[in-house]
Amino acid sequence: MLKFQAGRKKRIFLIIVAVFFTVVLALLSRYVESHRELQFGFGSVILPASSFLGVVQAMKGLLCIIIVVLDYKRGRILTYLYMGGSIFFMLVGIISRGEMSSLPGIYNSIISIISIAIISSGLAKAEKRAVTDYLTGLKNRRGFSALLEKAIRDKKSFHVVYFEIENFRTINDNLGHKYGDVALKAVAEKLKEKEDEETVYVSRIGGAEFAAVVFEKIDPKPFAANVMEKIGTSVTNVDEGFDINIALSVYSGISSFPGDADNTDDLLKFADIAVYNARLQNSKERICFFNTDMKDRFYRQIELEKIVKDSLLRDYFYLVYQPQFRIEGKKLRGFETLLRLKQPDGTMVSPGEFIPVVEKSELIMKVDSYVLRRAVKEAKRLVDSCESNIVVSVNVSAKNISSPGFVDEVKSVLEFNHYPPECLEIEITEYSFAESKDLTIENVKELRKLGVQIALDDFGTGYTSLSQVMHLPINLLKIDKSLIDDIESNAMNRDFVDAIIYMGHLIKCEVICEGVENDEQLELLKAHECDFVQGFVWGRPLEYDNAIDLCKKEAS
């Protein structure tokens, strides 16, 4: 905003200078016209002063054009007034003196007026284009920001209401960009209906993000709810050859001036953060007001992304290996690799904190790829140190397991390390199936064909039912720690875990419980015929060398 105001001040200064020189030139030409006997000498050359009148006229025209270019709205009025005035005085001169020497000046001024009209209409069109979204005709981000900046300067209270269409990517991916554009235009039309010169302005911020500024008279929450209802109803446009009906799922976030921030960039960013939180909360309302907690979380997320990027570059990551045991006889089944991040100052950052953050961006692909390569390379020695077959599992995010290149990546890592595929297990969560079900199932099937094992992690925390699991090509169910935590005292969780183990076996899956911390839990799980356990009770995550030692101990 400061930058914007500085630019404005500079422009006003330049206009004043240009106007000053125009006036000086006008006075000069009037003086020369009334003193035609004046002469200038350049060495031996003597010229009448009137011979410079053409140059002065041209310079006046040029200055007028500069004024219009600097600020076409005000500049145009100023120059029209000036040119109009000049023409008037020249006509008076002609009539009163009865001589026609000012006639060329009149032509000159008329041509200047026409030139200025053409230039200013070109500038007006260019300015409109710069602040208008080409697809929807709504204000774009730049136009919207200018509007907010004006409201801030005028000290008017307002709310920025952001709208994000959640399923827009699916529309683009499944129906094509042409339909995506039609859907965006339809949303824009519905938003335009809400626009009102006094209190509401709407805009397309970019992609599938729209925004409105609503002034204090309007309560932003019911406004947002109403818009969301309008946008959310099905979109159809038969005119452009599309007769598909699709319901859009919309989230909204609200930031306020002057409460949340005093500048446009922050207000837009905070409204966006509020949308993101509305998505996280997953509440029925789907609307969220920005607050300072969100701001702190947001900056921590930015910091975490930077830490993760640095760690990939400078190799601050390493893996630890948490042992898994067969409950009957405590025989080592294998290890789950868990990522650790140690910063140069010794601070540890938990994967529980940074993984959910990087999972929202493409950064997770790099992290997962790093873990897969490092885990398989290190696991080769683990597998070789064990007498019996062990399995090393690697956590893979939903984005990665549903990506087209994932199976090839696994294949090439296995081949490069001469690693037996049956000793690798990929842990995925049920959200992988929620995000991109078909591609995930396809990839999982391919991996199973290679011989790689698949575990469904954190089972029991989401919405996947056992009947859904039955159709998924997995071979291990990992019951989440939250269900094990109070299994000794909570009969309902006990029965639930019992049922999962029983049903898991029915659908030919083995079952492991994670987060088992004490003997009581262990005994209960044994009684329920759980196959494996992973937890502090029998083994915390181990450094690589200690994991090798454990393998060797098992072998002896």
Residue 400 engages Mg ion in binding (rule: CB under 5 A): no
Binding mask 416-455 toward ligand C2E (x if CB under 6 A, else -) reads ----------------------------------------
Residue among 33 and 310 whose Cβ is closer to ligand C2E: 310
The one-letter code for the residue type at 545 is: D
Q: Which of 272, 427, 430, 531 binds Mg ion (CB under 5 A)?
A: 427
Of the candidates 65, 371, 428, 447, which one interacts with ligand C2E according to CB under 6 A? 371
CB atoms within 10 A of CB 45: 7
Near ligand C2E by CB under 6 A: residue from 514, 524, 525, 528:
514
- How many C-beta atoms lie closer than 10 Å to residue 311's C-beta? 21
Burial 251-271 (b: 16+ CB within 10 A, else e): bbbbbbbeebbeebebbbbbb
Closest approach, Cβ 429 to Mg ion, in A, equals 8
Q: How many residues bind Mg ion (CB under 5 A)?
A: 4
Evaluate whether 509 touches 468 at the Cβ level (below 8 Å).
no
| 425 touching Mg ion, by CB under 5 A | no
CB-based contacts of 1: which residues, under 8 Å, 6+ apart?
A: 149, 152, 263, 264, 265
Asked if residues 194 and 211 have their Cβ atoms less than 8 Å apart, the reply is no
- Interface of this chain with ligand C2E, residues 449 to 468, rule: CB under 6 A: 457-458
Angle at 524 between CA 519 and CA 530, to 5 degrees: 105
* 3-state secondary structure labels for all residues of 20-51: HHHHHHHHHHHHHHHCCCCEEEECCEEEEHHH
Q: How many residues bind ligand C2E (CB under 6 A)?
A: 23
Q: Is 517 in the site for ligand C2E (CB under 6 A)?
A: yes
397 binds, among Mg ion, ligand C2E, none (CB under 5 to 8 A by kind): ligand C2E
Which member of 395, 436, 521, 534 binds Mg ion (CB under 5 A)? 395
- The listed partner (Mg ion, ligand C2E, none) that binds 371, CB under 5 to 8 Å by sort, is ligand C2E
Q: Determine how β-strand 332-342 pairs with β-strand 391-395.
A: parallel
Which residue pairs, CB below 8 angstroms and at least 24 apart, start in 340-347? 341/307, 341/308, 341/311, 341/316, 341/317, 342/316, 342/318, 343/307, 343/311, 343/316, 344/316
Single out the residue of 443, 453, 342, 446 nearest to residue 394, CA to CA. Answer: 453
Q: C-beta of 264: minimal distance to ligand C2E in Å?
A: 37
Q: Establish if 338 lies at the interface with ligand C2E (CB under 6 A).
A: yes
Q: Residue 551 is which amino acid? A: C
Answer for which of 71, 430, 458, 510 binds Mg ion (CB under 5 A) is 458
Q: How far is CA 418 from CA 333, 383, 452, 517, in A?
A: 21, 11, 14, 36
Using CB under 6 A as the binding rule, whether residue 535 contacts ligand C2E is answered as yes
Residue choice 133, 260, 272, 368 for contact with ligand C2E (CB under 6 A): 368
> Which stretch, 29-37, 102-110, 243-251, 533-541, contacts ligand C2E (CB under 6 A)?
533-541
Residue 260 near which of Mg ion, ligand C2E, none (CB within 5-8 Å, type-dependent) = none
Contact residues for ligand C2E, defined by CB under 6 A: 322, 337-339, 350-352, 355, 368, 371, 395, 397, 457-458, 481, 514-517, 534-536, 541
